[in-house]
Each structure stands twice: as C-alpha cells, then as structure tokens.
Structure 1
Amino acid sequence: MIAYHFPPSAEVSGALRTLGMARYLGESGQQVVVLTPRALAYPRRDPSTLGMVPSSCEVVRTFALDIRRHIGIRGRYPLWLAQPDRWSSWWVSAVRCGMRIVARDKPRVIWSTYPIATSHLIAASLHKRSGIPWIADFRDPVAAPVGQEKRLTAKTLAWVERETVRQASACVFVTQGARALYEARYADIEHGPFVVIPNGFDEEAFSGLAWAREPVPKAIGEPVVLVHSGVLYPRGRNPEAFFRAISSLLSDGRLVPAALRVILRASGSEPMFAKMVARYGLGDVVELAPGTDRGSALAEQSAADGLLLFQGSEFNAQVPAKIYEYFRVGNPVLGLVDEAGDTAALIRREGAGLTANILDSEAIANRLLEFVDGIRQASFKPISRDAVMHYSRRAGAAQLHELMDRLAPV
C-alpha cells in the first residue's frame, strides 16, 4: 500500500482510509506493507497518531522532501521541481525500496492512493517493473490548480491522471459521481474496471459510544444543539448563507436566540468566520470551537441534537468522509449542499435528514426551521444498523479483498 498520508502526519483524516484498509485486510489474513514517507516530509506531525497503526501492518518509510519547506526561499521554489506535487522527490527512494519489497514478499497487488499524485507515479513504476496488478485509489477526483502560475502543474496532473487510468489494473472511487466523471472523461481509452468503495467509517472509533436510540421529543425551553466538526472553506463549504439564514429568522421573530445553539468545531479560518458571526449578530448562537481529539469530537456529535454538513457544487462528485461518521452517530443531518451532488443524493437515499441549497439563505432558513421542529417532535429516525454497517471500513476492506481476488486469484 503506497500512501503519503499516514501517521505521524497530523492530517489524520487523510490517513483513515489507508489505516482502515490495512487493519481489516490484515484481520482477513493478508500481509500488509505500507510504503510511506519519513516524518520529515510532513508539514505538521502528531506522534500520538502512531498508536492508530495496526500492529499487524509493516510500515516502511523512505526519504522525501517537501520542496516548498526544504528547498524554497520564503515559500518560493522552482515549479518544475514540484511536479506533480511538492513531494516528487519521494519517487526515487520509494521505487528503490518498493522493488526490494516486491522481491522479498512477492505481493499479490499494489495499491496506491491519491490526493498526493506522486504515490500513483510510484505505483506505476513498481507495476511496470514487476507486472503485479495495480489498484489506483482516487479518494477525490484529481483537481487541477487554478491560476497562470499553476499551468504546468495542471498539465502534469492531467497527464498523471490519464496514465494512471490507462495503466492501472483497476481504479477505485469513493462515489458514483466520481466514477461517472472518469468514465466520461476517459471513454476514449481502454482501461481496467472502475469500482466504487465509499470512504466509510471505522467502527473501532466508536467503541465507547452506544448506537443511537429512538429519538424523544425535546423539552420545551431547551435549545436545539447543532454541530459541524471539521474544516470549512471560503469556497464550496462557506457557512455565510447559513449565518444569513439564522440572522433572518432571528430578525423576523421566527426563531429566538435561546432556541438554537450552533457549534462549528475546528472549522479553520476562524478569524474570517468570526467576522461573519459578528456581522450577522450571532454571537449568542454560533460558537467557533477549537479542535479536539477524535474521540471527544465523536462524543460531541453523539450528544448533539443534529449534525451539519456543508458541501457546495465544487464538490459534487465527492462525499465528505464525515457523513459516514454522522450516519454511525445516528443523529439527523442538515445538509447544506448542491442538490445535484452526490452528497445530497446520499442524504436523501438513506433518509438521513434534510437538504438545502448551500447558497440560498431563504431556502436554508425554511429548511432549518423544519429541521429544528422535526428534532423537537422527534420525527427523525436513525438509519438502520444494517444500512449503516454497509458503510463501515470493514465492509470497504471486504470489497477491496474481492477486487484483489478478481485481479490476482489465489
């Protein structure tokens, strides 16, 4: 398994898919070796995350530089050195070490995961030299950077993507929309099967949390607590229309401040969002809460009355990994989305809550009132346990195991 994001990288969310696949493939009797960079490559490190690595998994770390941090001067660096990304130097050590692993273990398959495109280049080299089947995992569609100065990187990423699709034995996507996007984009070339394995959730993370019970009506006078956990962006996941909707409801008296409490946990860009909260007069309603450990974040979601999701049209072919954790928590979801996207379709299909256009404050206001009223009346029912477990990473690893058996029968 070739993955840039892996402990001790502080970007834990990027590592969870690899960790889950490694853990559950190991439990099914597969020998798993993860090829990843040394800690030097990570902009932020968290040694405590090393405890998340399964004991059955062998981890091999090789030399890699972050061009911007290690070679750049005041953040500037020759762009040609950072093709297809800032960790391109990893290719040299990883291919050399990977071939030693191939000679030693004779693995059944090679698995690599985006969004660090160098991991796919490493896998392509090992696949070409060894003939071992290669599964290319696209956690997100390859996004081309914008701006004139990024034209070279956009061209390189497009080439990497096309060659990955052409050479890989199979490509894995996390949504149906992403698979359809790639089927249309590469209809002109012969390629291996395209398979969907959702991001999913890890049941072990919920070991201290009970399954959701049937909801009970909210006591009069108690505020409805809504939580969003994770990063928000100025584009695609911008909460401003949501803030405007709450402000409108407060202004016309359809909602009183004591009736609602919104917690945005570890949202990033807090100074910008704090200005929005102040501008719309929401200091008594909206809390911009700092980051916390994963266990505490899941406990907070479980204790909340409802969960928030922001996913605009920029991410229509993607589904945020947190939605599967939301499903496992069992509380209703208010999805502020593009109605044509995969996230909106998933919420509707599973009956997980309500959706509204992320850009339409009036639609959000109406849906928010409906959502709050539904919580107070206990009208939202949790998704069934069987349906939820379909999205577990154990189930995802079983799908990957089936794909391995198709590509490399024992």
Structure 2
Amino acid sequence: MRNVLVIAYYWPPAGGPGVQRWLKFTKYLPDFGIQPIVYVPENPSYPLVDDKLVDEVPADIKILKQPIKEPYGWASLLSKKKTETISAGIIKEKNPSFMEKLLLWIRGNFFIPDARKLWVKPSISYLAKVIADEGIETIITTGPPHSLHLIGLGLKKKYNIQWIADFRDPWTSIGYHKKLRLTESSRLKHEALERSVLVKADKIVVTSNTTKSEFEAITPKPIKVITNGFDDELQPMELDTDFTVSHIGSLLTGRNPLGLWQALQELIAENESFKKSLKIQLAGVVGEEVLQSIEDFGLMDCVRQMGYLSHDKVLETQQKSQLLLLLEIDSEETRGIIPGKLFEYLNTKRPILAIGPKGWEAGNMVEEHQAGHMCLHQDVASLKRVVLEAFQKYEKGNLNCDSVGVEHYHRRALTESLAKFI
C-alpha cells in the first residue's frame, strides 16, 4: 500500500458538490493499493454544511488539519449578507450595489488566485514533515480553490515528488472569472499562476474534454479526463403524484432559464390540467433575480423552494421527481462545464431536461446516453415541446427514462481510472 497525500479545501462537513469528488475517491483508492492521507483546513469557511457527510468519511484514513486565515470574516464587518452570498458564488449581475462592487473588486484583485491564498505558505511548511514522516512520493491538489495548487507548486519545488493537479473546474476560463472586476495586471497574474501550475505539475486531471483541450494548448504534460460520478445504490421509490420539475443545486442569475419560464407560462395558459399538476421544485440557493423572473412570468404559485438539502434528501428528491432540470450559463466559456449533479441524475433513471449553451458537453452527454433532451436557453418552442411531451407521458403514467451506458460513471470505476493514472 503506497501513501498519497491529498490536499483539499472542501471536506465534510462541507456540503455541496465540491466535497463529493474526493470523499468518494478516498473511499475507493485503498481497493487499488493506494492509501490516501487527506490534508484540509481546521477552521474553514464553508458556505454550505451537511453534517451527515461526516459519517461517509472512511474510518481508516488519516485526516490532517491546520488552521486557515480567511478574509471573509473581515469582509463581513462591512456587509455580512453580501459577503456570504459572494463566498457562496452568487454574483449579482443587474444593478449591483456599491458594496457588492467593492467586495468583488477586493476579492478579485487583492486575493489572487482566491481568498484562501493565506493558507499556502503555512501549508508548505507544515507538509514538509508530513512528506518525510509518511514516505509520501505523490501529492494531489484539488481546486477550486485554485490556491491549493500553489501548495502543490511550492512542494514540487522543494521535493522530488510526483504532483498531480486536479481541476474540478477551469481556472481563468470559467464564467464568473470575468465578473471579478479584475485589473489588467490582476488578470495577467491569474494567467501566469495558471500556466505555472499546468507546466510544473507532473500530471493533470480534469472533469471535461473541453477543459482538457484548453489546457493542452498551454502544457505538454499528461492530462486525464476523470468526470464526477455517482456512488449510491438507490432503492425503488414512488414517483411524485404532481408533475414535479426539479432543479438541484445553486440556481444563480447566469443560469436563469428565461426561455423555460416563458414556455411554462404558455403551457399553463393553454392547458388547465398542466396548470393544476405543475410543481417547480428548487433545492439549493436561488438568486433574487431568478425569483423575480419566476414571479414576472406568473409561476410563483407553482414553485416550492426547498432550500439546502442534505445529500440523502437530494437523492430522494431526484429519484421521486418527474423531470430533472440541468442548467448552465449560456456562454462560450461554459461549454465544458459538466455539473456534478448530472451523474446522480443519470443514476436515478429519471428524464433530464438540459438547458445550456450551444455545444454544451453536458447536454450532449444527456442525449448520448438517451437520458433526456438538450435545449438552448432561447429556444422557447423546443422547450415547450419537450415539456409538453413529458407531461403527456406523465398523464398516461409512462414518463420513464431508459438511459444507457452510465455504469462507468460509478465512483469505484472512476477511482480505478485515477489509480492507474497515479
């Protein structure tokens, strides 16, 4: 059994999709002769907490913790609510306040690459002894936050170790990067740090083919696509009696599906049975502008705001829903974003309606696996047709999904691929 050091920020009791990837990798890596040692912050500032995930941490892995200094606590002295929303990834696009502009400017230009940068130097110092004591030959950093890759960069400069950088999301090409109000010098610093990580790391792991292609233009180092996945053996459940259209996860302004809201508004006006049966379920953080759009389209009576759900409740909601929504920002930069929820959606065998940009990798996967349909944000006619067809099948009691070829997204199969790459 060889020891591998995994450096992560999101770890139970953190909630949300960011924690799932390495929680599951560490569960299965010992099956392939690799014993993970996990290094995480002692006092992190998690926007979402799911205490039940603590029970899923493997009992036989060593967890190392060191304190972290984060600026969100200081920023909350200016505006606690706005600091919390920004740290959760909610960036207001329409008419942001002066305080929101200021906090974004500080976040983008003073904390490069991100607000966890103050953990880098102390971690490099602390991990020196760990590498020696545990006989570590391989370290893995996972981001975002991408500052964790700078820990890997610092350790690589000091020690003869293999360093693998895992990118759950892109760095400078991700959609929200342009909203950080970066100065030109700050933008160049981000790009330089990204290039340093990609060039100095021995191997790189990404979650989409689009990101792989982007990185291949920067570095000759080996790049492996290992997507997110699912791990849960689901028990049969009764479907919702209402025509539930459910979205799981943060629904922020950029993902606001205006075309869908219009399609639903028209269907309600045209079909009394549809009006009585429709229930829009939103589980997770919902932006104020999204809620305003829903109200503007007269859909608020159909909406059920579920708030943040524990992972077990998420699985239950997904499995009981009639139709699952997968949404992405309509932009060139988001074509390679594959939300982690897609794989759990696939596991439920419930129909998926994917709405995103042209050429969206995740939307193409939905159709390739025969798990549902992909529509563009502005294509109201197609959205209306897909939803109406699903509703008609629901009325007949045969709204089903016969997806194919999803078995290789199981977390154990993905971990085997990772172990071979290591």
Are 2:319 and 1:302 equivalent residues in the alignment?
yes
Match 2:155 to one of 89, 109, 126? 126
Aligned to 1:154: 187
Question: Are residues 163 and 341 of structure 1, via their aligned partners in 2, closer, same or farther at CA, if it must alter by over 3 Å?
Answer: same
Question: Are residues 363 and 116 of structure 1, via their aligned partners in 2, closer, same or farther at CA, if it must alter by over 3 Å?
Answer: same
- After superposition, the C-alpha distances for 1:315-351 in whole angstroms (9 at most, x for unaligned) are 2111100010011111111111223110111011101
Are 2:117 and 1:99 equivalent residues in the alignment?
no
Please tell me whether the aligned partners of residues 13 and 49 of structure 2 are also in contact (alpha carbons under 8 angstroms).
yes
Match 2:388 to one of 343, 357, 369? 369
Question: Are residues 47 and 347 of structure 1, via their aligned partners in 2, closer, same or farther at CA, if it must alter by over 3 Å?
Answer: closer
Are 2:84 and 1:59 equivalent residues in the alignment?
no
Aligned to 1:30: 34
1:71 to partner: Cα distance: 7.2
Aligned to 2:235: 210
1:52 to partner: Cα distance: 2.8
Question: Are residues 373 and 182 of structure 1, via their aligned partners in 2, closer, same or farther at CA, if it must alter by over 3 Å?
Answer: farther
Partner Cα separation in structure 2 for residue 98 and residue 199 of structure 1 = 27
Identity among equivalent pairs (%): 23
Partner Cα separation in structure 2 for residue 391 and residue 334 of structure 1 = 19
Please tell me whether the aligned partners of residues 127 and 134 of structure 1 are also in contact (alpha carbons under 8 angstroms).
yes
Please tell me whether the aligned partners of residues 35 and 94 of structure 1 are also in contact (alpha carbons under 8 angstroms).
no
Partner Cα separation in structure 2 for residue 231 and residue 44 of structure 1 = 11
Match 2:343 to one of 315, 324, 329? 324
1:166 to partner: Cα distance: 0.6
Aligned to 2:96: none
Match 1:8 to one of 9, 13, 35? 13
Q: Aligned partner of 2:148: which letter?
A: S
Please tell me whether the aligned partners of residues 251 and 290 of structure 2 are also in contact (alpha carbons under 8 angstroms).
no
Partner Cα separation in structure 1 for residue 141 and residue 188 of structure 2 = 21
Partner Cα separation in structure 2 for residue 290 and residue 79 of structure 1 = 28
Aligned to 2:356: 337
Are 2:102 and 1:69 equivalent residues in the alignment?
no
- After superposition, the C-alpha distances for 1:17-37 in whole angstroms (9 at most, x for unaligned) are 111111111343322111111
Q: Aligned partner of 2:249: which letter?
A: G
Aligned to 2:244: 225
Aligned to 1:85: 114
Please tell me whether the aligned partners of residues 111 and 134 of structure 1 are also in contact (alpha carbons under 8 angstroms).
yes
Match 2:407 to one of 389, 396, 409? 389
Partner Cα separation in structure 1 for residue 284 and residue 41 of structure 2 = 26
Aligned to 2:279: 261
Please tell me whether the aligned partners of residues 211 and 330 of structure 1 are also in contact (alpha carbons under 8 angstroms).
no
- After superposition, the C-alpha distances for 1:226-246 in whole angstroms (9 at most, x for unaligned) are 2111111111x1133211111
Q: Which residues in structure 2 correspond to 1:173-192 (within 5 Å)?
A: 173-183=206-216, 185-186=217-218, 189=219, 191-192=220-221
Aligned residues: 385
* Structure 2 unaligned blocks of 5 or more: 1-5, 80-102
Question: Are residues 329 and 150 of structure 1, via their aligned partners in 2, closer, same or farther at CA, if it must alter by over 3 Å?
Answer: farther
Please tell me whether the aligned partners of residues 23 and 56 of structure 1 are also in contact (alpha carbons under 8 angstroms).
no
Partner Cα separation in structure 1 for residue 107 and residue 267 of structure 2 = 51
Please tell me whether the aligned partners of residues 229 and 264 of structure 1 are also in contact (alpha carbons under 8 angstroms).
yes
Q: Aligned partner of 1:398: which letter?
A: E
Please tell me whether the aligned partners of residues 34 and 419 of structure 2 are also in contact (alpha carbons under 8 angstroms).
no
Aligned to 1:194: 223
Question: Are residues 399 and 155 of structure 1, via their aligned partners in 2, closer, same or farther at CA, if it must alter by over 3 Å?
Answer: same
Q: Aligned partner of 2:392: which letter?
A: D
Aligned to 1:400: 418
Partner Cα separation in structure 1 for residue 329 and residue 270 of structure 2 = 27
1:388 to partner: Cα distance: 2.5
Q: Aligned partner of 1:349: which letter?
A: E
1:360 to partner: Cα distance: 2.6
- After superposition, the C-alpha distances for 1:1-47 in whole angstroms (9 at most, x for unaligned) are 111111233x4421111111111113433221111111245456555
Question: Are residues 306 and 41 of structure 1, via their aligned partners in 2, closer, same or farther at CA, if it must alter by over 3 Å?
Answer: closer
User: What TM-score, normalized to structure 2?
Assistant: 0.83
Question: Are residues 27 and 300 of structure 1, via their aligned partners in 2, closer, same or farther at CA, if it must alter by over 3 Å?
Answer: same
Please tell me whether the aligned partners of residues 200 and 324 of structure 1 are also in contact (alpha carbons under 8 angstroms).
yes
Aligned CA RMSD, in angstroms, stands at 2.6
Partner Cα separation in structure 1 for residue 71 and residue 378 of structure 2 = 37
Question: Are residues 117 and 227 of structure 1, via their aligned partners in 2, closer, same or farther at CA, if it must alter by over 3 Å?
Answer: same
Q: Aligned partner of 1:292: which letter?
A: L
